[in-house]
Each structure stands twice: as C-alpha cells, then as structure tokens.
Chain A
Amino acid sequence: MADAYIYDAVRTPRGKGKKDGSLHEITALSLASQVLEALRDRNGLDTAKVDDVILGCVSPVGEQGADIARTAVLAAGWDQATAGFQINRFCASGLEAVNVAAAKVKSGEAGMAVGGGVEAMSRVPMGSDGGAWPTDPSSAFPTYFVPQGVSADMIATKYGFSRDDVDAYSVESHKRAARSWAERRFDKSVIAAKNQLGLTQLDHDETIRPNTDMQILGGLNPSFVMMGGMGFDAVIGQRYPEVASVNHVHTPGNSSGIVDGAAGVLIGTKEMGEALGLKPRAKILGGASIGSEPSIMLTGPEPVTRKLLGKLGMQPGDIDLYELNEAFAAVVLRYMQALDIPHDKINVCGGAIAMGHPLGATGAMILGTVLDELERSDKSTALATLCIGGGMGTATVIERV
C-alpha cells in the first residue's frame, strides 16, 4: 500500500454564524470554491491530476445540498476531470473527508485527492436537514436520544466537572486563540475570505474574546436547563441511573461557537507529489472511526484514540500534540482525564470554544492547525479527533516528514 502525504492545508477564517456575521453574505459554495482555488493557486496544481474532492457537510440541503463538493470543483474552475462528493459524519465530517481521501490514496484509487469541508451555518442553519434519529421513535426510543448539550452536561456530571472547571477551560481557549493570532501561528493555513468583488471580506476568526474571564463567563445562563427539564434529563437518567440529576454547566460561553467556514487538505502519494513538484509536509499514519454510547454521545474521542493508537502500536505519550474539537468544554476535560493528557499538549492554539465550529469543515481545520503547530514548535506527531453526534469518534494521526 502507498503512503498518504499531506501537501497543503488551507482554511477560511471563521465568521460569526449569524446574520451579522462577516461571512453571512458569502455563499457556502463560494467558501468551498475559495478553498479549492487556494489549493490550486498556492501549489500551481494541475487539477486534472487530482482524482477526487471530498467535502464534509453536515446540513447538505439548500445551497449546501446536491453534492456541494462536485459543485465547488466546477465553480472553482478546476478541471472537469476531478470528481467530487460530499460526506456527512456530523462534526467529524471534515476529518473523515481527510481519512477517506487518505484511504483512496493509500489504496491506489487516487494519486492526489482533497479532503475538507464546508458549513455556512449562518445561511443553512443547523438541523435544516431534518433527520430521523431524534424524530422517529424507532431510533429515538432505544437510544435514549437527548440533544448534545444535555449529553455534554451529563459528561460533566458523571465525570465530575464543575461549572468553574468548564468556564476555566473556556477562558484558556480564548487566551490561546488570541495568542496564536497575535503570534501569527495560523498564517500558513488561513486564506482571507473574499467577497463578490474579490475584496477581503474576513481575514481573521471573528468570535475570539481575548478578555473574557471567569466572571463574565460565570454570568451566563446554562443553555440546556429548560430542555433537560422538559424530559431529556429524565431520558438520559434512564441510561445512567447511577446519576442523581444532570448538572447543567454548559453555556454559550463554554461551548463551541456557531460559525461559517471551509477548509481543505491536499493529500497524495509520494510519486504524485513528486510529479506535481510538491513537497510533503506530513505523513498520515492512520485514521479510524468508532461508535460509542449514543445517549451521552460525545465520549467517542477516547475509544477512537485508543483504537487508532493501538493499531499504530503507539501509546498516548507518543503523541506530541493533540487536537480535540472543543464542541463542549467537558468533552475535552473528560478526554484529558481519561487518557491522562496534560493541558499543554492539547488544543495549544485554542479551539472551537474561541474560534467556532463550522460543523462540516472543523475536522480539516484542526488537522491543518496542528500540522502548522508541529512545524512551528518543531515537534513530530499529532493526533486530531472530534466527538460526534450519534455517539461516534473519528481520529487521524500524522507525523511530520
């Protein structure tokens, strides 16, 4: 089997995912196209040599529907020979797209491929695609379905994280993100998002609050008290009868932000890279996905990490840097607790609590971020992972070359 190498990674800045967000007036297709254009232009890519573009997208309806990957390939003016398809593994879609691209490369099906994702959450709201899981009793009942926020609160309750714990984590996320921008740590990956005139619409992540503190965060109301009280606390309580009651600690301040953005990672074989005159930055050592308990839903990163490291014959200590998507603060705290990962090895540039979580794109974004950081700090191995709706986990391990 061939090895899969990362040749480039780009992402748009993340714009606030509301009507007053800077990217609200930019279409999802435009965001995805700008990423593909950047990959092509930065690398002088003969796009006809790229076999496939795989984009994650979690609400693939409306302008994000009908295979936005192929649509973006065409809109970006890539060669018509490049195929494209859209995938959905909820929050890990962007990383799964990378893993699928890598698998295609390793298997020999593709010589060069793009894995990435797009989500214009201000334009296509979360949940726009419906879905049976919570709605159809055939799936909601047996899985003790609750909304993710209640699951995250259950993680905090069951594994002992207080409101102060999750808020303190959030303060640190904002600090790290602000520092990373100040130190221009994202320069390699971030491309300015352009508007209809080709002018820069947004060149930085829009939701960071460098000055937030415990007091500000402590003043926010927990988001999922009402939902819990309407019945969901009782439902997850039936799955975890050892827990007296759900402690609702998550607020908008310690959960990932809703944003717009897109990202792409260029992956190929050594041979194709050489043929195209590209320099590999890292090798993809492996990827994995798992299923975990669906009601608590967001604890999949631990088992997928164990599974992937096991397959690679590695220990948690062999990884220099971790990226775990900051869907909710408790998700990261639980992961650090379970795998005994020190805080200075994980999400060192901040994460989605500060910079936002454009659902379909985040996985590709955090892989690019951790690759940049490996290079900047001259470290070798990194693991990127995300918790996922429905109770899943996806992870990828890379090593610099």
Chain B
Amino acid sequence: MENFKIDIDADGVALVTFDVPGRSMNTLTSAVIAEIPALVETIKTDDAIKGVVLTSGKTTGFCAGADLGDMAAGMLAGGGDLQKAFDTGWALNGAFRALETSGKPVAAAINGLALGGGLEFTLACHYRVVENDPKIQLGLPEIKVGLFPGGGGTQRLTRLIGVQNALMQMAEGKSWRPNDAKGAGVVHEVVEKGQSVEAAKAWIKNGGKAVQPWDDPKFKIPGGGPYHPAGAQIFIMGNAILRKQSYGNYPAVLNMMKAVYEGVQVPIEAGLRIETRYFIKTLMTPQAQAMIRSLFLSKQELDKGAVRPAGVPKSDPKKVSVLGAGMMGAGIAYVQVMAGIETVLIDQTQEAADKGKAHVEELLKKRLSRGQMTQEKYDATLALVTATTDYDLIKGSDLVIEAVFENREIKADVTKRAEAQLAEGAVFGSNTSTLPISGLAEASVRPEDFIGIHFFSPVDKMMLVEIIMGEKTGDAALAKALDYVLKIRKTPIVVNDSRGFYTSRCFSTFLMEGMAMLEEGYSPVLIDNVGRMTGMPRGPLEMHDDVALDLSYKIAKQTREDLGDKYVPNEGEQIVATMVEQGRFGRKNGKGFYDYDQKPKVIWPGLYDLAPTTKGAELGESAEALAAIDELKTRLLYRQAVEVARCWEEGVIDDPREGDLGAILGWGFAPWTGGPITFMDQTGLKAFVAKADDLAAKYGDRFKVPALLRDMAAKDETFYGRFAPQTKAA
C-alpha cells in the first residue's frame, strides 16, 4: 500500500498511518479509495492485528476529504452508466462499512483537521480521539460545493447525534472545534496535542468494543426517525427550513434530506446504499457540476495564481500603505496585518486615521475573544498598523492602495503625493469601484505601475479582489498585485478597464432589472421576493438600498456627464432621482425603497405612488403562476448574464473561471449556477440566445446578446470549450 503504513506493536495494535505520498495534505484520491478495501481486508484477516489505530502522517491535518476533481471524474467515468457510477461510489462506502464490521476495534487518532470524507472515515471507526488544537476543524462542508456527505456521513452522523443536529451541521457545512465536537457527541475524547495515538491505543487495550452503536440490535436513532412522534416534527420542520434556506435551488440539499429520510428508516447498510444513490444523482446534476468546477476547482486554481503572468519573479509585499482610513481602508488594513504585512494607514486627520486603526483593533479583538488568536499574536498583529497623516511614512512600501472618496481630483492628488514617496517598481493600486483606471492613471507619473485593486465590503468577509488593468498597466505591476492578493488570502480575478469594470457593471444590471420591473408595475414585494428566489443573496430593491440610492443617483449623473449624448438612462432612473430628492438615500439613512425604522423592514408606502402596482394578476394559485414567477426570475438572471457576455466581447474578461467566480464571490451571483458563464454554457448558448431574443422582444434591447454569443451559439460552442482556461501555475 502506498498511502497507508501499518506498524503492529507488541500488543497487536496496528498503527495505520495515512500519508499520501507527494502531497502536502491527505485527500481521498482515487488511489487512496482504491487502497482502502485492501487495508480493511488486511485488518480483518491478519491474525496478528488485535485492534487498529488510524492516524495521519501529515502535520497539515488528518484528511481534507475527497479529491473532488478526481472523484467526480471517477464516478462519472461511465457516462450514463448508472450501475457503474453506483459501483464506483459504493467502493468507498462499502469499504467503510467493512471497516466498522471487521470485528476488530478501530480507533481514530485525529491529529489534524478532518473534513468531508476525512471525517467520514473516522465516523466508520469505533472510537474517535481528537487533539486539542484550535486549528483542528471537524466537519462536513460538502454542501458548499453543491454536494452532500456521500461517504456515510448522512447515515452515521444522524445515528450518532440525531437527525436534527446532523442536518443542521450538514446543511450549513459548518465545522466543530475539538471540544465542541466532544460536546456534540461526534468524538469520544479530546486529548492534548501529540497524545491522540496513545489515547487511542489505550482505548483498545482497555477492551474497546468493535461494534458501532447502530449495529447493536437495541439501537434507536437519537430523537427518533420520521415516523416517531418527536422525530416526525424534526423532518417536517427540516423540510421547511431547508426549502426556506435553499429556495429549492440546490438539488444537493433536497437529495441530502432524501438520503437522511429514507436512510434512517432502514438498517445502516441499506441506508448507505441509499446515500450512495442520491449522491450519484446529485453529482450528475448540472448544479453540482457547476459548483464543483467554480467553487472548488477554479477557486483552487485562482487561489494558486493561475492567472499570474509567467516570467515575472515572485514578489512578497512586506509593507503596504493604505490611503483613506474609512471602512474600506481600515478593512484592507485588517486583512493585511492578518497576513503579516506592515501597514501604514493614512488619512487627512490623525483622528480619522486613528478611527481606522480602531476598526482593525475591533476586528482583532473579536478573534482574540473567540480564542482564534493568542494575546501575543494579537499584540504583534496590531503593532503592524501605523495610523498617521504623514505621507513620508509611505517610504519603503511595496504597494500603496488608495481607498479615498470616489472623486477624480482627490484621487489624483493622493496619487501624486504617494508616488513621490514610492521607490522604482513599487505599485500604486486604486480601490475605486466606479472610475475607469486608465483615466485615474493619467495622474500617475508611472502609469505602467498603476493598477486597480478593487476590494469588496466588508473586506474581512468578502473573498474576492478584482484587479483592473489600465491601458498602460504593465505585467510586473499585475504580478505584484496578484502576489499581494494571494498573500492576504483572497481570490483574485483580473479584468480589463471598463466603466464599473466587471463586477460593479454586471451587478448593477441586477438592480436595474428590478427597477425595470418596478416601472412596469410589478409590486416591490414581488420583485424582491423573486430576486431572492433566483439564488441571489437579496432582492434587487433591497440591494439597491444597501448600495445607497444617492450613490446610484451620483453614478448616473457622473456617467451622463461623461457620456453626453451617448448616455442611455437607466431603468427607473426617475424613481431613484425623486426618492433621492426626497432624502431617501437607502439603508444608510434608514429610508429607501424600505423604511428601516421597524423590524422587519417594510416597503415605504410612498413607493406605491411613485410606482403604482398594476401587474402580477397572473400570479396566484394556478399552475401557470409558476411560469410567470419563472419569467421574472429568468429576467433577473439573464439580464446579468447578457452583461457578462458583453464584458467578454469587449475584452473586460477573458477567462471563464474568473467570470464565474468573480460573479459569485463579487456580487453574489446565484451560486447554484456555478456563475454566469457556466449558466450560459449549461443552458446551451443556442437556448440562451433564443430566450434572450425573446426577452429582448418583450422587454427591450438590454437583453440583446452580443454578436460573439450569437456566433458561438451558431457554432454550438461553449465558453469553457472555446476559451478553455490555461492553467499557468499548478
């Protein structure tokens, strides 16, 4: 065996060390999965082995779960051959089952994180000891990539801790820390670092039983199954809560619930077969395939610098200055110091700069109080921030990021002042979200080192950074900006200059389609409800409130000034203008499309005068109503996707992975789609263009697809086919 090493001690306890060669982290690769049956067979048949302790040979963790790319390829290798897919899927589940029924006690010594299939491996052991290390997480996060636990998790965790607790954990993909895992009943024992193997051996030597709780004839599932009076409530409520959360957009959520519901009613082995069937079914859905590709594979690639220009030596930014200590600047400062970057936080007054540092302090304190950070680490990290008004302190910075007001003059001024302090080769990044970079770069004496580095708010939570190439931005600046983004552990996408770049531009179409519906006479309630039902995090009107109506108004005004005769007014622009004139700026002043002075927020009654509700009579109890709702959902998603296609044609984006992930992480584009590019590809460009044409005829030119898309549709191409991404870095 390549991946497992067996050492039998004098007492007959076999220490099985899981250590995948050539990898920094253990994952369940197809090679590992292929070896597990042999491992189990050895355990079962080798008379020298009285008991087993399973542990990891890696310092990085026990096991991070399945290698999703590998696994999906393996299970789907048979094309439509479902029996073959089942057999492949059953290989692991069957082996885990064989392990727990081998007749020999098996204890897991969990000496590092155990996620997904990693945790499921340990659930097939009779005893689990975990080391008390705050870095260790135990969890089943599969739902986040469009799957659900398919290595026995839906069957064993439910039987171990009850359906309700198991469902909550699996549906949110959350992890436990070691002591919480003990409290939840997921592990039996928590020991100090380095003690897990010993403790596991002790359990075996003290007569640990080789029988899982669910193989005891008297076993009853904690909390009851679906036709137990209390258990029924759990299932009935569970169905409601899962629909509430998923809006029915995620087959994985439904199939997970089916696996639990059907599986807990039968003996575990049958339950495991049921789980495998639903797992295969899920894996075959476009949603799961889309999510695995974008949220797992593409994210991994971009996080490793897949789009970094080759040939530029790797840089390591050690000192970075941030201009503007508002929410954005302070957030940037926080993620920098968390990555160990010395940070100069500059604002016009010391008071403003200090306020920014106080925000960093606040965020760090949260980590401290949650035990995610030691006092020493906290002190050292906070000491990395210097709050000042003094531009001289910029000296020695590898990078400067400006996060000042969205005003050309102010930006030009700080650019000049900062560049005066910068050494040759240092990069100036602008965190503008609306102003074209090439224009801002005119204020720079070194436009080749001027680049857009667009963060999202709140910076500590949002995973994406959009890097914008100005006309003159050089590869060296791009490489350095990417090195910086990777260092602060964000996911970068690189786009070319355009008004609103990629994310703001496409996101705004979601808001505008909502405005179009409002103008047409749909009720604001319906618009936002339908908006959420598409899988977007919030409806277009409430998101418009979040963005701020006065900002929307100002951007429209600026754009009108910039474009002159070429300006095309936005949908519902007049409604927004009237609201702003009446002092309704959005959520920030508690008055927007909604009134925020009560909870939950309610639609501002005056909106019905500005935009009387005249449509929606087709909605109601009829089966056709669902089609009417679908049409509204389709409009909201298509409008964004068409804009993405335009961005592609204009060269704003050129890598489908960036287009997809940028949309999901940047503006919350419905994750179940895998992103707008995959959404178009999976719809089929022919069908997409036909539907967009239909929408254009009904609702206007904003749905008109670019020539590129029509051409691709005619040739039956896909974005991922025609523009297959080249992975530059592994």
- Interface status of B523 (Cβ within 8 A of chain A): yes
- Please give me the 4 A-B residue pairs with the lowest Cβ-Cβ distance, nearest first: A241-B529, A231-B240, A140-B239, A234-B244
Query: Which of A27-35, A78-86, A281-289, A291-299 makes up part of the contact surface?
Result: A291-299
Query: Which of B253-261, B461-469, B568-576 makes up part of the contact surface?
Result: B253-261
Closest to A241 in B: B529
CA–CA, A283 to B629, complex, Å? 45
- Interface status of A146 (Cβ within 8 A of chain B): yes
Instruction: State which residues 227-286 of B face A: CB under 8 Å.
Output: 227, 232, 235-237, 239-244, 247-248, 254, 257-258, 261
Instruction: Specify which of B247, B261, B529, B623 is in contact with A137 (CB 8 Å cutoff).
Output: B261
Instruction: Specify which of B242, B619, B622 is in contact with A242 (CB 8 Å cutoff).
Output: B619
CA–CA, A140 to B622, complex, Å? 19
Q: Contact at B619–A241, with CB atoms within 8 Å? A: yes
Q: Contact at B244–A135, with CB atoms within 8 Å? A: no
- Known A-B contacts A238-B248, A242-B619; the reply to A135 vs B240 at CB < 8 A is no
- Interface status of A244 (Cβ within 8 A of chain B): yes
Instruction: Specify which of B227, B237, B602, B621 is in contact with A296 (CB 8 Å cutoff).
Output: B621
Q: Contact at B621–A135, with CB atoms within 8 Å? A: no
- Interface status of B696 (Cβ within 8 A of chain A): no
- Interface status of B94 (Cβ within 8 A of chain A): no
- The minimal Cβ–Cβ distance linking A297 to chain B, given in whole angstroms, is 10
14 extra A-B contacts, CB within 8 A, seeds A230-B240, A234-B240 = A130-B227, A134-B235, A135-B232, A135-B261, A136-B235, A137-B242, A137-B261, A140-B236, A141-B248, A235-B240, A238-B243, A242-B616, A243-B525, A292-B621
- Interface status of B226 (Cβ within 8 A of chain A): yes
- For this complex, 6 residue pairs linking A to B, each with C-beta atoms less than 8 Å apart, are A137-B239, A137-B257, A230-B241, A237-B529, A238-B529, A292-B621
Q: Contact at B240–A145, with CB atoms within 8 Å? A: yes
When distances are taken between beta carbons in the complex, the residues of chain B under 8 Å from A145 are 236, 239-240
Closest to B235 in A: A135
- Interface status of B34 (Cβ within 8 A of chain A): no
Q: Contact at A299–B241, with CB atoms within 8 Å? A: no
- Interface status of B352 (Cβ within 8 A of chain A): no
- The minimal Cβ–Cβ distance linking A216 to chain B, given in whole angstroms, is 30
CA–CA, A292 to B625, complex, Å? 13
CA–CA, A311 to B232, complex, Å? 41
Closest to B632 in A: A241
Instruction: State which residues 62-79 of B face A: CB under 8 Å.
Output: none
Q: Contact at A138–B258, with CB atoms within 8 Å? A: yes
- Interface status of B292 (Cβ within 8 A of chain A): no
Instruction: State which residues 132-185 of A face B: CB under 8 Å.
Output: 134-138, 140-142, 144-146, 158
- Interface status of B652 (Cβ within 8 A of chain A): no
- The minimal Cβ–Cβ distance linking B166 to chain A, given in whole angstroms, is 15
- Interface status of B476 (Cβ within 8 A of chain A): no
- Known A-B contacts A146-B240, A238-B533, A242-B616; the reply to A135 vs B226 at CB < 8 A is yes
Residue-by-residue, is B508-544 near A (CB-CB < 8 Å gives 1, otherwise 0)?
0000000000000001011001100100000000000
Q: Contact at A241–B226, with CB atoms within 8 Å? A: no
- Known A-B contacts A141-B243, A235-B243, A292-B621; the reply to A242 vs B525 at CB < 8 A is yes
The B contact surface, by secondary structure, is helix
When distances are taken between beta carbons in the complex, the residues of chain B under 8 Å from A158 are 620
CA–CA, A127 to B650, complex, Å? 61
Closest to A234 in B: B244
Closest to A134 in B: B236
When distances are taken between beta carbons in the complex, the residues of chain B under 8 Å from A130 are 226-227, 232
- The minimal Cβ–Cβ distance linking A241 to chain B, given in whole angstroms, is 3
When distances are taken between beta carbons in the complex, the residues of chain A under 8 Å from B181 are none
- The minimal Cβ–Cβ distance linking B111 to chain A, given in whole angstroms, is 37
- Interface status of B603 (Cβ within 8 A of chain A): yes
Closest to A142 in B: B248
Task: State the A residues within 8 Å of B (CB).
Answer: 127, 130, 134-138, 140-142, 144-146, 158, 230-232, 234-235, 237-238, 240-245, 292-293, 296, 299
Q: Contact at A141–B239, with CB atoms within 8 Å? A: yes
CA–CA, A118 to B524, complex, Å? 48
- The minimal Cβ–Cβ distance linking A387 to chain B, given in whole angstroms, is 13
Closest to A300 in B: B621
Instruction: Specify which of A232, A245, A293 is in contact with B621 (CB 8 Å cutoff).
Output: A293
- Known A-B contacts A138-B258, A242-B523; the reply to A144 vs B243 at CB < 8 A is yes
The A contact surface, by secondary structure, is loop
When distances are taken between beta carbons in the complex, the residues of chain A under 8 Å from B600 are 245
When distances are taken between beta carbons in the complex, the residues of chain A under 8 Å from B254 are 137, 141
- The listed residue with most A CB atoms (<10 A of its CB), out of B254, B529, B602, is B529
- The minimal Cβ–Cβ distance linking A199 to chain B, given in whole angstroms, is 35
When distances are taken between beta carbons in the complex, the residues of chain B under 8 Å from A296 are 621
- The listed residue with most B CB atoms (<10 A of its CB), out of A231, A237, A240, is A231
CA–CA, A145 to B533, complex, Å? 17
When distances are taken between beta carbons in the complex, the residues of chain B under 8 Å from A241 are 525-526, 529-530, 533, 619, 629
Q: Contact at A135–B236, with CB atoms within 8 Å? A: yes
- The minimal Cβ–Cβ distance linking B45 to chain A, given in whole angstroms, is 41
Closest to B257 in A: A137
CA–CA, A177 to B705, complex, Å? 66
When distances are taken between beta carbons in the complex, the residues of chain A under 8 Å from B629 are 241
- The minimal Cβ–Cβ distance linking A235 to chain B, given in whole angstroms, is 5
CA–CA, A384 to B247, complex, Å? 38
When distances are taken between beta carbons in the complex, the residues of chain A under 8 Å from B241 are 230-231
Closest to B226 in A: A135
Q: Contact at A135–B526, with CB atoms within 8 Å? A: no
When distances are taken between beta carbons in the complex, the residues of chain B under 8 Å from A231 are 237, 240-241, 243-244
When distances are taken between beta carbons in the complex, the residues of chain B under 8 Å from A144 are 243
When distances are taken between beta carbons in the complex, the residues of chain A under 8 Å from B226 are 130, 135-136
CA–CA, A234 to B243, complex, Å? 8
CA–CA, A136 to B226, complex, Å? 8
CA–CA, A299 to B620, complex, Å? 11
- The minimal Cβ–Cβ distance linking B628 to chain A, given in whole angstroms, is 10
Residue-by-residue, is B595-639 near A (CB-CB < 8 Å gives 1, otherwise 0)?
000001011000000000000100111110000010000000000
CA–CA, A241 to B616, complex, Å? 10
When distances are taken between beta carbons in the complex, the residues of chain B under 8 Å from A235 are 240, 243-244
- Known A-B contacts A240-B619, A242-B523, A299-B621; the reply to A135 vs B237 at CB < 8 A is no
Q: Contact at A238–B247, with CB atoms within 8 Å? A: yes
CA–CA, A299 to B621, complex, Å? 9
CA–CA, A142 to B237, complex, Å? 15
Instruction: State which residues 431-486 of B face A: CB under 8 Å.
Output: none
Q: Contact at B523–A137, with CB atoms within 8 Å? A: no
When distances are taken between beta carbons in the complex, the residues of chain B under 8 Å from A232 are 240
Closest to A138 in B: B258
Closest to A243 in B: B525
When distances are taken between beta carbons in the complex, the residues of chain B under 8 Å from A234 are 240, 243-244
Q: Contact at B533–A242, with CB atoms within 8 Å? A: no
CA–CA, A146 to B261, complex, Å? 18
- The minimal Cβ–Cβ distance linking B530 to chain A, given in whole angstroms, is 5
- The minimal Cβ–Cβ distance linking A300 to chain B, given in whole angstroms, is 10
- The minimal Cβ–Cβ distance linking B514 to chain A, given in whole angstroms, is 13
CA–CA, A134 to B239, complex, Å? 8
CA–CA, A136 to B259, complex, Å? 10
- Known A-B contacts A242-B619, A296-B621; the reply to A135 vs B248 at CB < 8 A is no
Instruction: State which residues 185-228 of B face A: CB under 8 Å.
Output: 226-227
Closest to A128 in B: B229
Closest to B241 in A: A231
When distances are taken between beta carbons in the complex, the residues of chain B under 8 Å from A243 are 525
CA–CA, A136 to B242, complex, Å? 13
- The listed residue with most A CB atoms (<10 A of its CB), out of B232, B240, B600, B622, is B240
When distances are taken between beta carbons in the complex, the residues of chain A under 8 Å from B529 are 237-238, 241-242
When distances are taken between beta carbons in the complex, the residues of chain B under 8 Å from A137 are 235, 239, 242, 254, 257-258, 261
When distances are taken between beta carbons in the complex, the residues of chain B under 8 Å from A136 are 226, 235, 258, 261
